Each structure stands twice: as C-alpha cells, then as structure tokens.
Amino acid sequence: LAKTTQPISMDSYEGQEVNITCSHNNIATNDYITWYQQFPSQGPRFIIQGYKTKVTNEVASLFIPADRKSSTLSLPRVSLSDTAVYYCLVGTGNRDDKIIFGKGTRLHILP
C-alpha cells in the first residue's frame, strides 16, 4: 500500500483558491488517488478521484503530474463551510486492498 503525506493543517481566506498537496512516492501502477472531506462528527465524504493528469468536477479539481508521485487537490473560491479535514488516499480499491486513511489536512477558512 502506498503511504501518503499531507500537511497537517492549512489556513486560508474566503474567496481564495486553496491547493492541498499530497505526496505518494511509492504509488503503484494500478493505484488511483482519491480525496475525501470530513466535517466534525460526520463520516467522510468523497470529493474526487483520479489516475493521471487532471480531473475536475463541480466541487474541486485534482492535478496529477506525469510521475504520479504527488497530487494536488484544488478548491476554487473557498467559503467558511469548506473548513474541514481533507484526506488523500491511494489504492486500487480491489478486493484485497485495504483503504487507509491517514490523519489528513485540517483546513481552516477565515472570514
């Protein structure tokens, strides 16, 4: 299983674009990169998943360089409600591949 490294915490201001980078140097060929968001006392919620280059949905963008050893979650124009913990996960999701959550990045949006 590829281990991931993220910043422990980040602060930003409302209206800004926030980029959270995740390192996964040992990512395997079949691994996908998935990001989740968690609010206090709630279960995590899926944000976005990608394999290479760029993926965009209505919530965020995910940038993955050619070597796939890192990835960046980009949140455009954040609001106070984006204050949460963000987890980067790497894995195949196959039957024998456990899904491992690290400590995540605690994002605090300031007014």
Partner 1 sequence: DGGITQSPKYLFRKEGQNVTLSCEQNLNHDAMYWYRQDPGQGLRLIYYSQIVNDFQKGDIAEGYSVSREKKESFPLTVTSAQKNPTAFYLCASTGLAGSEQYFGPGTRLTVT
Binding characters for partner 1, 50-89, by CB under 8 A (x = yes) = -------------------------------------x--
Q: Considering beta carbons, is residue 42 or 111 the nearer one to partner 1? A: 42
Cβ at position 41, least distance to partner 1 in Å: 7
CA distance 25 to 27: 6
Q: Cα dihedral sign for 61, 86, 17, 23?
A: negative
Per CB under 8 A, the list member of 21, 23, 49, 72 interacting with partner 1 is: 49
Angle made by CA atoms 78, 80, 83, in degrees to the nearest 5:
85
What is the separation of C-alpha 81 from the centre of its chain, rounded to a whole number of angstroms? 17
The structure tokens listed for 32 are 């996908």
- Under rule CB under 8 A, residue 37 binds partner 1: no
Q: Judged by CB under 8 A, does residue 34 bind partner 1?
A: yes
Cα gap 67→85, rounded to integer Å: 26
Determine, following the binding rule CB under 8 A, whether residue 102 of this chain makes contact with partner 1. yes
Residues that bind partner 1 (CB under 8 A): 32, 34, 36, 41-46, 49, 87, 92-96, 98-104
